[in-house]
Amino acid sequence: MDNKIVATVNGEPVLQQAVDFELQRLIHLYQQQGMPEQQLRLQLDALKEKALEQAIGTKLLINEAKRLNIPVSNEELNAQFERYVTQFGGNRERLEKAIEAQGMTVEAFKQELRQGVSINKLIDQVCAAVTAPTEEEINAHYEAHQDEYTTEDRVLAQHILIKPNTDSVEDKAVAKAKLDEIRARIVAGESTFEVEAKAHSDCPSGKSNGGSLGWFGKGMMVKPFEEVAFTIPLNEVSDVLETQFGYHIIIKTGEEKGHTPELAEIYDKVQSFLFHAKRGQAVSDYVAGLRTKADVTLS
């Protein structure tokens, strides 16, 4: 547990673990929205800064909820605790052991839950005046952001990579011959792509995922690899191809054509996004007001 102090709010510490928690929430959110791993890595520094600001904002909300003495009944606290029990398959003992494994008592965990419920009640008060988006707002957002809802062509593929020991002609020939033999066994039905990938692939995806690369779009792989992955027929093993990484064979197990959805297809998604954006803005404005009255120092 990282107890490094990264900031203080009115003399009270904000710990690195709070920032790490906010960072993981942000990463999870962007992953749910479909942001590619490569893009997440490129934005990691900006996400860390945002996580720090959110941790400070959370501390401001905690202090304000305490100042307002927002009540949390035992019934509300128990209901929140039971939600966690449900996440552990209804096994209360498993949950309590998991809590203790984090170096925390069940009572301390419940106090954190009580604090979380009070913050949620404060946020509900702050957002009480937030209204559902109008038809005009929904239509305007869709017209202005169609490109963000447009999906591109993508494929689901596995590959096997064999790297030559050196760039010599002889070593490259040995690597290609090895992959030719692997391909022949798969095509003949003597083995499966997954089995061969786990046994022989020089890519980490082979050992862990049977060569699976998951879904990917154009521009995410090197050009020769991409061209083959997008053009081979479904469920057919490609010929051996060479890239800067070595020799590959590919099998495409899924493909989706990109398209721009009509508003009716994503109406609920747009409506939910705008509503939560309004709530988010209301909370941001409220936190900004709290911050102007607080003594915030970065370590």
> Per-residue pLDDT tens for 94-118?
999 999 998 999 999 999 999 999 9
> Which two structure tokens, joined as six digits, stand for 188?
């003949």
User: What is the third-level CATH fold of 154-256?
Assistant: Chitinase A; domain 3 (3.10.50)
User: What's the mean per-residue pLDDT of the chain?
Assistant: 93
Tokens of 45: 């520094």
5-135+266-298: CATH architecture: Orthogonal Bundle (1.10)
Residue with the two structure tokens 């999906």: 151
**What does the pLDDT read at residue 36?**
67
**CATH 3.10.50.40 residue spans of the chain:** 154-256
- CA distance readout (Å), 237 to 162, 187, 202, 232, 255: 15, 7, 18, 8, 15
pLDDT tens-digit map of 137-152: 999 999 999 988 888 8
Q: What is the distance between the alpha carbons of residues 178 and 161, in angstroms, rounded to a whole number? A: 10
* pTM for this prediction: 0.69
| 8 A C-beta contact, residue 271 and residue 132 | yes
Helix (H) or strand (E) holding 214: strand 212-217
**Cβ contacts of residue 217 below 8 Å, gap of 6+?**
36, 152, 153, 154, 258
